[in-house]
């Protein structure tokens, strides 16, 4: 399966970064996140079980917070794809 990714990096004010994080939080609550950067776009649908990893540290004049949010896609089959027949044999080609 092909991997579809969007990468983004920039230096911004704390207020601008908070806007990105707020948008991600709203998307997580709605179950839909859309990301666009240049020509690349990615649409994500987080499941009900989301994993959060957070690392934070500080030394001298540098601070860092790393967030990783992940989930597994649902593998349940759609019921609209199921067909059940009784009393008839399917035609064999």
Q: Given this model, what pLDDT does residue 62 score?
A: 95
Whether residue 3 lies inside any domain: the answer is no
pTM of the shown model: 0.69
DSSP the chain: -------------HHHHHHHHHHHHHHHHHT-EEEEETTEEEEE---S--EEEEEEEEETTEEEEEEEEE-----PPPGGG----SS-PPP--
Instruction: Establish if 39 belongs to a structural domain.
Output: yes
Does residue 23 belong to any structural domain of this protein?
yes
Domain that holds residue 44: 14-81
For the chain, how many structural domains are there in total? Answer: 1
pLDDT tens for the chain, 93 residues long, are 557 888 889 999 999 999 999 999 999 999 999 999 888 889 999 988 999 999 999 999 999 999 999 998 876 655 566 666 677 665 655
Q: Residue 20 domain-assigned?
A: yes
Q: Residue 75: inside a domain, yes or no?
A: yes
């Amino acid at each position: 399966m092909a991997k579809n990714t969007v990468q983004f990096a920039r230096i911004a004010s704390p207020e601008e970064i908070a806007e990105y994080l707020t948008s991600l939080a709203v998307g997580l609550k709605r179950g839909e996140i859309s990301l666009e950067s240049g020509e690349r776009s990615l649409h994500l649908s987080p499941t009900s079980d989301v994993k959060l990893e957070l690392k934070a540290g500080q030394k001298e004049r540098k601070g860092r917070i790393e967030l990783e949010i992940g989930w597994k896609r649902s593998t349940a089959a759609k019921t609209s794809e199921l067909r059940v027949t009784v009393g008839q044999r399917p035609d064999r080609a």
